Structure 1
Amino acid sequence: MPTIALLGTGLLGVAIGHRLLEQGVTLKIWNRSAAKCEPLLKQGAEQIENLDGAAKGCQAVITVLRDGPVSAEVIAELGDLDAVCCLPMGTMGISESRQLELQVQGQQGFYLEAPVLGSKPEALKGTLLVMAGGDAAIFQQQLPLLRLLSADPKWMGPTGSAAASKLALNQLIASLTHGYSLALRLVQASGLEIERFMEVLRPSALYAPTVDKKLDRMLSNDFTNPNFSTALLRKDLQLFVREAALAGVNAEALEGLVELLTLAKGTPLDAGDYSALHALTADSAKDH
């Protein structure tokens, strides 16, 4: 099995690390906050004390970091990549990913963007949806590694195509959650039982499984133990709006949703599950 460097051991990064270790991968790990490395160290990972030169001897460097600028900053600290492939799995802008590819090439490395759809449960089971963008030959080289995390990794096309796909999907997460929240609020205000409404919605073409996945959280206002936070959803939606403008797409309608999500700042909702968006559609949320 290969040696992999994993940079970023937040919620998703730790789950990816656990999966790789269970599959027999030799894993070297780093996080800005070293304490977050502890779960993987206990499972047998090796801690990277100094990023400079840490990619040496690795098949690949996987990054699961907050955004494009942070990914670029951390990868720069690796120095000469010596033909190692960098696989950023976090969400970033199309232009950011293309710029990061040039940076990695300048560091004598290879690049394959590989953002994922899914969170902790899917990562632990190896059922993440991996979207890869970059050179097709590099994708083929990294396919055995990607298959440890995904049953069917998809090559989307040149660099930027996977980043675009990931942003588009995360925009749908925000828009679908918002749309369902508004529907539930109106149904509740009318006095109609939610389950009666769901009996009509479920067999219709309007149904998406995410509504049942988040329904209990929304109705109980329990947004603890998140797999994807409200803060991260807002960050990704802001990134989508920015990239849409660069692409000449009119996404002005989403700016109101960004503003709504901004109401969570400074409250427990921001660190909670993104279904906390439902709490923001309550009339009382305007008073926060």
Structure 2
Amino acid sequence: MRISVFGMGLMGTPIALKLAQENFLVTAYNRTAEKLNPLEEQGLTVTTNPQTAIANSDYLILTLSDAAAIQTVFLENADTFFTGKTIIQMGTIAPEESKAIAKAVQERQGQYLEAPVLGSIPEAKKGTLLVMVGGEETLFQACLPIFKTLGQDPKYIGVVGQAAALKLALNQLIAGLTASFSLSLGLIQREKVDLDKFMGILRDSALYAPTFDKKLPRMGDRTFANPNFPTKHLLKDTRLFLAAAKTVGLETTGLEGIREIIEQAIALNLAEADYSAIYQVINPGPTP
């Protein structure tokens, strides 16, 4: 299979490298040439020309930052037709955005799947991402060699829009769990409750989530550098969820408060920090 990956960001680079390691013929596209150097050193074909990346492959994987980037980088630079090509959109975007992209691709005689993932750089490198796919099931089956390279048990979710909605629902939990744990941890620390006793009871309860232990060292030391998922991306996904939730009539007041906390973290110059940096807002302390 010939595959072009568009966007060498936090996820695009390890995804492209993992596919190349499994002997797919990979072309890596990025607007900034410097980001392509590590991939070229690994033997991948690289280009800063989207037309070249489109022409090189039958499968086009999009790992761009948002729907606007897909429009600007991919759709506006594409040839009139995608005949014989399958576009796989793997970023986190809104359900309606995914449907609009699918329509644009299909109008140009291409095929479209949405395939957002749960996981970050370590999982992408190991091929253990949780891959969720929306679109035609027969097309999902045809693309299984790609999906199984990136995740051991890819899931077919349903029509276009449903996998995008599921990904937003999961990322909303990231925001909610991190904010709730930060608040509880802040009270524990300020009341000088023994941290080990708190965590021991929490781990033995139905309230526990593994992300609490994963983020505890960062919060305890207030070290938020070298993120796999930065605060700015959590804000983008939270805003997308809020818009989608309001469209279907959900009450979103609680999440709106968390969005404000994330925005305050951005204002503290923590946009590029690990998203657990929202702890700095919830339990103010020395800024790293």
Report the TM-score range of the alignment, normalised by the length of the smaller protein.
Answer: over 0.9
- Structure 1: distance between partners of 2:129 and 2:178: 20
2:251 is matched with which residue?
Answer: 250
How many residues are paired up?
A: 285
Distance in 2 between residues matched to 1:47 and 1:56, nearest whole Å = 13
Q: For structure 2, which runs of at least 5 residues remain unmatched after alignment?
A: none
Q: Distance in 2 between matches of 1:260 and 1:103?
A: 36
State the SS of the aligned residue for 1:52: helix
2:78 alignment partner in structure 1: 78
Distance (whole Å) between structure 1 residues aligned to residue 72 and residue 162 of structure 2: 22
Asked if 1:151 corresponds to 2:127, the answer is no
Structure 1 partner of 2:47: 48
The residue identity in structure 2 corresponding to 1:21 is A
Identical columns (%): 42
Contact 2:4 2:56 survives alignment (8 Å): no
Deviation at 1:72, TM superposition (A): 2.6
Q: Assess, with a 3 A threshold, how the Cα gap between structure 1 residues 84 and 113 changes in structure 2: closer, same or farther.
A: same
Aligned equivalents of 1:49 and 1:122: distance in 2?
A: 27
Q: CA RMSD in A?
A: 1.5
Which amino acid letter does the alignment assign opposite residue 100 of structure 2? Answer: Q
Q: Which runs of 5+ in 1 are unaligned?
A: none
Residue equivalent to 2:68: 69
Structure 1 residue runs of 4 or more that deviate by more than 3 Å after TM superposition: none
CA–CA distance in structure 2, aligned partners of residues 220 and 17 of structure 1: 33
Partner amino acid for 1:278?
Y
Distance 1:141 1:263, change over 3 A: same
Q: What amino acid maps onto 2:18 in structure 1?
A: R
Note the C-alpha offset of 1:49: 3.7
Distance 1:149 1:18 in 2: 10
Instruction: Name the structure 2 match of 1:125.
Output: 126
Q: Is the 8 A contact 1:56 1:81 kept in 2?
A: no
Inter-CA distance 264–283: structure 2 relative to 1 (3 Å threshold) = closer
Specify the SS of the correspondent of 1:87.
Answer: strand
After superposition, give the CA deviation of every residue in 1:192-243 in whole Å (9 maximum; x if it has no partner). 0211100100011000000001100010001011000001001100110011
> Contact 1:85–1:109 at 8 Å: present in 2 too?
yes
CA deviation profile, 1:155-211 (whole Å, cap 9, x unmatched): 000000100000000000000000000000011111102111001000110000000
What is the TM-score of this pair, normalised by structure 2? 0.95
What SS does the corresponding residue of 2:109 show, helix, strand or coil? coil
Asked if 2 retains the 8 angstrom alpha-carbon contact of 1:8 and 1:64, the reply is yes
